[in-house]
Structure 1
Amino acid sequence: MKIVKHSGSVVEFNRDKLKSSLLKSGASKSVIDEILQTVDNQIYEGITTKKIYKLAFSLLKKSSNATAARYNLRAAIQMLGPAGFFFEKFISRLFLSEGYATKTNLFLQGKCVSHEIDVVIKKYDFIEMVECKFHPRSETNSDVKIPMYILSRFNDLKDRNHSIFSKSDKITGCWIVTNNRFTSDAMDFANCSGLKLLSWDYPPKFSLRKKIDEGQLYPITCLTTLTTAEKDKLMVLDVILAREIIDNAEILEKIGLSPIRIKNVIIEASELCKYLKYEN
């Protein structure tokens, strides 16, 4: 059965790939089997991956908002755009969860020119810059030009003193983080040049997807019980992670949610993050 991807390319339908993504959502075996059977019955030659995703998502949501939210993770990260400002905040939260001190959106003077840096992180005596390459479309990958360009910025900054966490900090390392993927040339160049990469599926054991799941760092945009407008309001109020609302009903009141909806949203966030504050 041929299906059409977001990019327009035509590929064979991969049932095992769909099953794997459903397993990662945390859905039960019976729910997954039911969804796969429904998809088998409804797909047709030339159906888009978007329609298959919407069908699976709607069936998951009937079973559990939290599993639907986890299934929705990659799309939820794309909602941290359109320019990627909230993606930078999200990545800052990720490093904070790993014991780093972080600062965002800094202007630092290099040897030749001034640079705007998305995130700067510090652990022990090591200070590193983090450049975030956000793509609003899932099929857009970061090619070799990205690490080549960022390496030149790092080289312009690394041998100078900067006022970041103290008055005389030196940047000793550089990360490039993307919500999508890097091309093989981009990975080869970065690894050869000493740059650290983090993408949706790279490095395989420490990818963005794995870090989010293991740290329960689900973005607020995952939640199915909030509208897009409500998620935008929360992000403007610096609420980036779903877990940040579990003990913070006041912030949901602030954006105009009723007590019933507040309870439902917090239940979903709690189940998503495996911590149940409210009783069902």
Structure 2
Amino acid sequence: MKIVKHSGVIVDFNRSKLKESLLKSGATPAVVDDVLQLIEKEVYEGISTKHIYKMAFGLLKKASNSHAAQYNLREAIRLLGPTGFFFEKFIARLFASEHYETKVNLNLQGKCVSHEVDVLVKNNNVITMVECKFHVGRDAVTDVKVPMYILSRFNDLKERQHEIFSRGESISKCWIITNNRFSTDAVDFAECSGINLLSWDHPTTNNLKNRIDNHRLYPITCLTTLSLSEKEKLLILDVILVQDIIDDRTYLEKIGLSPKRTKNVMKEASALCRF
């Protein structure tokens, strides 16, 4: 049976691939098999992957909010947009969970011109600039022009010392992180130039999805028990992670949730983060 991807490309329906993605939600094999059987009864020639995803999400939600939340991870990251500001904060928190010191949105003077750097991180006295390329569209690809441009900025900045975490510090490494994918040329150029890349599926191991799952560092936008407007209010309060409301549930009171709603949200949050 043929299905239509987000990009418009027509491919064969792949039951094994769908099963794998459902299992990654944390649902049990028995629940996944039930979901698959129900989906297979509904699929038809030419159905979109978006429609299949919605069916899978809805069926997982009936079984468990937290499994649906984890299955919804990529969409949840997209909901950190549209500008990319909250995505940058999320990436800083990801590095912080790996024992880096972090700074967000600094203006630094290079040898030739000044530059606004999305995220700066420090570990073992090594300072790295991190540039975030956020895409709202699911199929947008970060192409080779991006690492070429960022390499020139990195080269300009590393020529001078800066006051970042303390005085007289130099930037010696560069990362580019996107919520989508890099083109093959972008990967080749970055590897040749010594730039580290991180995307939804690159590198094969320890990519963005793996790192989020490994640290249970889920964005607040994952939660299925919150409305879009409630998620936006929390982001404005600098509540970026699900863990933030586990640490302090009063944030939910601040955005007007009732005790009953708060209890439901906390139940989902705790299950998602395995707290």
Same fold (TM over 0.5): yes
The answer on 1:152 being equivalent to 2:159 is: no
Q: Normalising by structure 2, report the TM-score.
A: 0.99
CA-to-partner distance for each residue in 1:143-166, whole Å, 9 max, x for gaps? 111100100100010020111111
Distance in 1 (alpha carbons) for counterparts of 2:272 and 2:189: 37
Matched residue SS, 1:168: coil
| Match in the other structure for 2:245 | 245
Could you tell me how far 1:235 is from its partner in structure 2? 0.5
TM-score of the superposition, structure 1-length normalised? 0.97
Corresponding position: 1:108 with 2:108: yes
1:49-107 per-residue CA deviation (whole Å, 9 max, x = no partner) reads 11100000000000000000000000000001001110000000000000000000000
Task: Supply the distance in 1 between the matched residues of 2:170 and 2:247 (Cα, whole angstroms).
Answer: 38
Could you tell me which residue of structure 1 aligns to residue 213 of structure 2? 213
- Identity within the alignment, %: 64
What does residue range 24-35 of structure 1 map to in structure 2 within 5 Å? Answer: 24-35=24-35
Tell me the residue number matched to 1:269. 269
Q: Displacement, 1:247? A: 3.0
Shift, 1:2, TM fit: 1.1
- In structure 2, stretches of 5+ residues that fail to align are none
1:66 aligns with 2:66: yes
User: 1:113 deviation in Å?
Assistant: 1.1
Q: 2:154 is aligned with what amino acid?
A: F
Greater mean deviation of Cα atoms: 255-264 or 162-171 = 162-171
- Give the partner amino acid of 2:190: A
**Cα displacement string for residues 18-50 of structure 1 (whole angstroms, at most 9, x for unaligned residues):** 101100001111111111111111011111111
Where 2:141 maps in the other structure, the secondary structure is coil
**CA distance in 1: counterparts of 2:58 and 2:68, whole angstroms:** 8
| Structure 1 residue 238: Cα displacement | 0.5
Cα RMSD (Å) of the superposition? 0.7
Between the aligned partners of 2:109 and 2:177, the Cα distance in structure 1 is 22
Amino acid paired to 2:115: H
Deviations 1:156-200 (A, max 9, x none): 100201111112110000000001111111111001000011111
Superposition pairs for residues 168-179 of structure 1, below 5 Å? 168-179=168-179
* Count of equivalent residues: 275
2:231 corresponding residue in structure 1: 231
